[in-house]
Amino acid sequence: MSQTRILVTGGAGFIGSHYVRTLLGPLGPDDVSVTVLDAFTYAANPASLDEVRDSPRFRLVVGDICDPEVVGPLMAEHDEVVHFAAESHVDRSLSSSAEFVRTNVMGTQVLLDAALHHGISTFVHVSTDEVYGSVPTGSSTEEESVDPNSPYAASKAASDLLALVYHRSHDLDVRVTRCSNNYGHHQFPEKIVPLFVTRLLQGRKVPLYGDGMNVRDWLHIDDHIRGIELVRTRGRAGEIYNIGGGTELNNRELTDRLLQACGATWDQVEYVEDRKGHDRRYSVDWHKAHTELGYKPQKDFAEGLAETVAWYRDHREWWDRADGTPDAAAGAPAC
């Protein structure tokens, strides 16, 4: 049986590593091999790939997607690309945006050029609902214009448009996914769910932006990976697919659920000054992915959150590093 050779960028990060573990796990397809290309910046963790490290269908390459000398030879050996690699923390982009432009825009351009040159059959570009900006009512469809409000979101919007242009200009089979807020195990403790969980498990205070009424749609990592794989295997070239989770909560509601799950109280919540350009609400319409690809979120939020808290409780060695990982978020969550 011939195998589809997939190059996964950012495969040691939260979403990318889950994708790799899923493809090479017991329930994954047996006709794919995976090469992970990752620069191992602060949010990547080699331990996230331990489950698949001994698979004969797995290879790890440490390298930078911005380096054509690394990307070109790798691209020549593969059939498809699933592109996760990105700088993704909004707070960090507000204090220093250069790395976001370099990785998210320039890195995507290097990958696209190499994919075009080497005849890649499918290029899945993984993006975010943040490119749509704040949505007061309703939900963003794939036809909505991008309207980002942070350097991170702007860099992702730019990379989305660049990827789609490679389809329109060069007929490269590019498919873009835009997901809502992810949660689940193996997520670096700078995003709100793992940051709050790890701090609460240590009996520490957690920071809540502004009035805590910012609304997000929560997507379990299992559902996100399922959606991405549907786009890779069944999606159409040049199309955007929203992947939503179906659970809208404001940050106060989310905080309350996290406090209960960790056996903590509101005394451990500290209100902090709202961040610049903090979008009030994100919401994506995932009707297109449902009707075309059969996508539908399956993980119940209460069940998924309980499993997530239990994983962090049982895997302290993963997140409790010598440099104090929970403090790496500069005091406030990205949400």
Question: Locate tokens 């490269």: which residue?
Answer: 172
152 among known catalytic residues: yes
Rounded to an integer, what distance in angstroms lies between the CA atom of residue 228 and that of residue 233? 9
Q: Which of 64, 130, 144, 229 is catalytic?
A: 130
Q: Which residue out of 19, 152, 166, 209 is catalytically annotated?
A: 152
Of 38, 87, 129, 223, the catalytic one is 129
3-state secondary structure 256-318: HHHHHHHCCCHHHEEEECCCCCCCCECCECCHHHHHHHCCCCCCCHHHHHHHHHHHHHHCHHH
Best CA proximity match to 181, nearest among 232, 231, 130: 130
Inter-CA distances, 146 with 19, 73, 103, 158, Å: 26, 33, 20, 9
Neighbour order of strands in the sheet with 215-220: 181-183, 215-220, 247-250
State the residue for tokens 């709202």. 274
Q: For residues 149 and 134, give the distance between their C-alpha atoms in angstroms, rounded to a whole number.
A: 8
Q: Dig out the tokens for 124 from the structure.
A: 């899945």
* Residue 129 known to be catalytic: yes
**Residues labelled catalytic:** 129-130, 152
